[in-house]
Amino acid sequence: MHRFWRRNRHWLTPTLFLLPGLILFSMVILAASAETVWISLHEWDGIGAKTWVGLANYAELADDPQFYVSLKNNIIWLLIFMLAPPMGLALALIVNQQIRGMRILKSLFFVPLVLATVTVGVVFGWVYDPTYGLLQLIFGLFGATAPALLSDENFATFAVAAAALWPQIAFCMVLFLAGLNNLNEDLIGAGRVDGARGWRMLRHVVLPQLSQVGFIAIAVTVIGALRSFDMVAVMTTGGPYGSSTVLAYQMYEESIFSYRFGYGAAIATVLFVIMISFIAWYLHGLIKAERSNA
Amino acid sequence: MTNALAGLRTTRRRFIKGTGAAIAASAAGNLCFPALAQAQEITIISNLSNVGQRDILHRLAAEYEAKSGAKVTINNMDHEAHKTAIRSYLVVGAPDICFWFSGNRMKAFVNKGLFDDISDLFARENYKNVLGATTNAVTVGDKQYGLPMGGLLWGLFYRKDVFAEHNWTPPKTWTDFLAFGEAAKSASMIPMSIGTKELWPAGGWFDHMNLRINGLDKHIALMDGKVQYTDPMLTPIFDKWNDLIKAGFFSPNHSSFGWEQAGAALAQKKAAMMDLGGFVRSAFSEADIPQLAYAPFPELVPGVARYEDFSVNSVHVPANAKNKQGARDFLAYFYKPENLGAFLAAEGAIPPRNDCPPSKDPLVNAAVEELKKVVGTSQYYDRDTDPDMAQEGMTGLQEFMVKPERRDQILERLEKTRKRIFG
């Protein structure tokens, strides 16, 4: 036994370490995804028999105006969320200074990350309330009436995504703060000797060292924007009349409320394909960056 | 490919079975309960969110245990979570008794053979004699699949003190209704409080208009998918509804809030009336509840008999229950007039039995009196039609209330959905 272990441990050890993760990953992610694709080829109400319909669900999806609304909203989310990495970086640079009281400021910016997204959604729902909300109070100071953001089909998605942006900025800030702590002191010293300060120091010495962190921040933000669901569910339930739904929420609604698991699965599959293409692109970039560093 | 996927499906099925077993085990409450005694065990899954009702159910269970020697275990679930959980536990690991809703929501499970036919219990206890019309709510093809619980009569609620102050009376006709709206507006109140974030209040408004204009039979035909959404019979509904929207009858920005906030506006005298069930009382403070009064939705077309939305909750025996006889015996005890009366009084619902002791709640008594004048009842938009249709329909009705000029597009979209679902 002992000899067997010794002879084989070069592959046994990593295998044993990887096994729990692999088992979980294949059960929870791979098997579930494969089954989702399988279900999307059926008409199924979640209880009774599944009827094979081939690609009919996808054909219907291509003809469903609601699907394009969701897709468009996902893109709006993505664009708004792209503000999070630069704003997070700016905040990180501000709070990363050695000034008295900066720790308190830092923790204030960190707070939204501690809150559950649902809480953020509920609180922002109150802020946006057209009669009693904070927004109306501010507008009221100028004698104006606040627009009912969540009741307006043109504003609802922007209002919800803006609320979701708040914790996302905090998240990027934390990532960049960690990056700033790992800066190479020698390089900064060398830059200083060469007379770089302010903007030039940032542009040519600090930012290049943060490129890895920036890459991660963008990736996490994109995925965060695509899988948005909870804020929509809490703040608008996809309304008014479906104008603020995103793919994840539409899938939930079709499956749970309309009892159309096949159709819901087809939406999930489309979202999955979008995500997987992004992740492939991301991994490709990561590997390329690692190679050029080595 | 097929093999691998078949393998996946078995594991999933096994997984569900496991979960079902876990639910059943937790319902049983006590894992080390001896197997022999389990024959005399009755498990109940309840979805009651009202604490008073839960207490009474526990009290009745304890009394029944003492009387019969059977063990009654109650597993309480969150009301909303229960709506999704019931779909899996009815298939695997069913309890002996569960709470649900009658009408189409019940029919969906009956058609899949998941609820037990309890016509024998109806015959044994002579329920048909005391239930009257509510029997229909739990009947599919002459067989009964559940016991009707408390009913909610829908209509227009208002504050007596506000009406007295302005010398108003509840509107009875369409002309009254329009005049009332103007009067409320000149008193700077919203004529009709409504919150459509949860969609269904818009569905309820449609029900009322359709019942008053086309009557029950045509309404049910539409709910069953037998009438097209583009049918001319719906034109007067949307014409009249459009008039109300244009006249500023409804709460502004109603799609940003739900019924609770709309109810609060009624309680705070910011709105004159509100279309809801009796549970609107929960938006009122204890001191204000005596001011709350009920009025039927006004007549829109003279000569159409009075039909109302009267939605009924119900209790069922799953087809996969282990102790079906025990479940029937417990239900017979639970359904005794005095027990059922106490259980429903806690919610302020109208008892389905006509021999329950009279309620102390004047609002319930008023609704009971009103119900005697009603010729026929429907359940509610989302309980009468297919759930998929209901979801599309209520979204469309909400959109109509905000953008009435899109009427034709909305109705064509609903018709497309109707065709897909009902063929």
DSSP state letters, B32-101: T--TGGGGGEEEEEE----HHHHHHHHHHHHHHHHHH--EEEEEE--HHHHHHHHHHHTTSS--SEEEEE
What distance in Å separates the CA atoms of residue B186 and residue B132, rounded to the nearest whole number? 44
Rounded to two decimals, what is the model's pTM? 0.80
- Interface check B406 vs A, CB under 8 A: no
pLDDT grade for B53, boundaries at 50, 70 and 90: confident
pLDDT at B416: 93
- Taking residue B335's Cβ as centre, other Cβ atoms within 10 Å add up to 20
Average pLDDT, rounded, for chain A: 89
- Taking residue A223's Cβ as centre, other Cβ atoms within 10 Å add up to 15
Order of all β-strands in the sheet with B155-159: B190-193, B271-276, B155-159, B292-295
Of residues A176 and A198, the one with the higher pLDDT is A176
The top-scoring range by mean pLDDT among A127-141, B4-18, B329-343, B348-362 is B329-343
| Token duo for residue B405 | 């000029």
State the average pLDDT over residues B219-231: 94
What distance in Å separates the CA atoms of residue B106 and residue B98, rounded to the nearest whole number? 12
B 216-275 residues with CB < 8 A to A:
252-257
Strand-pair partners of A190: none
Average pLDDT, rounded, for chain B: 86
What distance in Å separates the CA atoms of residue A137 and residue A130, rounded to the nearest whole number? 9
Nearest by CB: B8 against A35, A48, A128: A35
**Which chain A residues touch B388 with a CB distance below 8 Å?**
258-260
- Say what percent of chain B tops pLDDT 70: 91
Q: Is the pLDDT of residue B246 over 70?
A: yes
Q: Is the pLDDT of residue B4 over 70?
A: no
pLDDT at B33: 43
User: Which ranges of B335-406 would DSSP assign to H, the alpha helix?
Assistant: 337-345, 362-373, 381-384, 387-402
Nearest by CB: A241 against B11, B256, B395: B395
**Do the interacting molecules here have an ipTM over 0.95?**
no
State the average pLDDT over residues B170-192: 95
**Which chain B residues touch A130 with a CB distance below 8 Å?**
252-253, 256
Q: Is the pLDDT of residue B12 over 70?
A: no
- Taking residue B214's Cβ as centre, other Cβ atoms within 10 Å add up to 22
pLDDT grade for A191, boundaries at 50, 70 and 90: confident
- Interface check A133 vs B, CB under 8 A: no
Record: contact B395-A257, CB cut-off 8 A? no
Q: Is the pLDDT of residue B6 over 50?
A: no
State the average pLDDT over residues A9-23: 91
Q: Which residue has the tokens 């009387």?
A: B67
Q: Is the pLDDT of residue B308 over 70?
A: yes
Q: Is the pLDDT of residue B36 over 80?
A: no
pLDDT at B10: 46
pLDDT in tens, A193-225: 888 778 888 888 888 888 889 988 998 999 999
Q: Is the pLDDT of residue B271 over 90?
A: yes
Q: Is the pLDDT of residue B269 over 80?
A: yes
- Interface check A151 vs B, CB under 8 A: yes
Question: Which of these, B25, B57, B87, B100, lies nearest to B331 by C-alpha position?
Answer: B57
Is residue A13 classed exposed, middle or buried when 0-12, 13-18 and 19+ CB atoms within 10 A define those classes? exposed
- Say what percent of chain B tops pLDDT 90: 55
Strand bridging mode B271-276 / B155-159: antiparallel
pLDDT grade for B2, boundaries at 50, 70 and 90: very low
pLDDT in tens, A24-76: 999 999 999 999 999 999 999 877 788 999 999 999 999 999 999 999 999 99
Helix (H) or strand (E) holding B311: strand B307-316
CB contact at 8 A, B61 and B275: no
pLDDT grade for A173, boundaries at 50, 70 and 90: very high
Distance to chain B for A45, nearest Cα, Å: 10
Strand-pair partners of B42: B72
Nearest by CB: A241 against B9, B114, B398: B398
Cβ partners under 8 Å of residue B101, min gap 6: B311, B312, B313, B314, B383
What distance in Å separates the CA atoms of residue B377 and residue B306, rounded to the nearest whole number? 9
- Taking residue B4's Cβ as centre, other Cβ atoms within 10 Å add up to 10
CB contact at 8 A, B42 and B332: no
Where is average pLDDT lowest: B16-30, B126-140, B241-255? Answer: B16-30
Nearest by CB: A38 against B5, B112, B196: B5
Question: Which of these, A152, A16, A158, A248, lies nearest to B256 by C-alpha position?
Answer: A152
- Interface check B320 vs A, CB under 8 A: no
CB contact at 8 A, B299 and B177: no
Distance to chain A for B418, nearest Cα, Å: 13
pLDDT at A294: 59
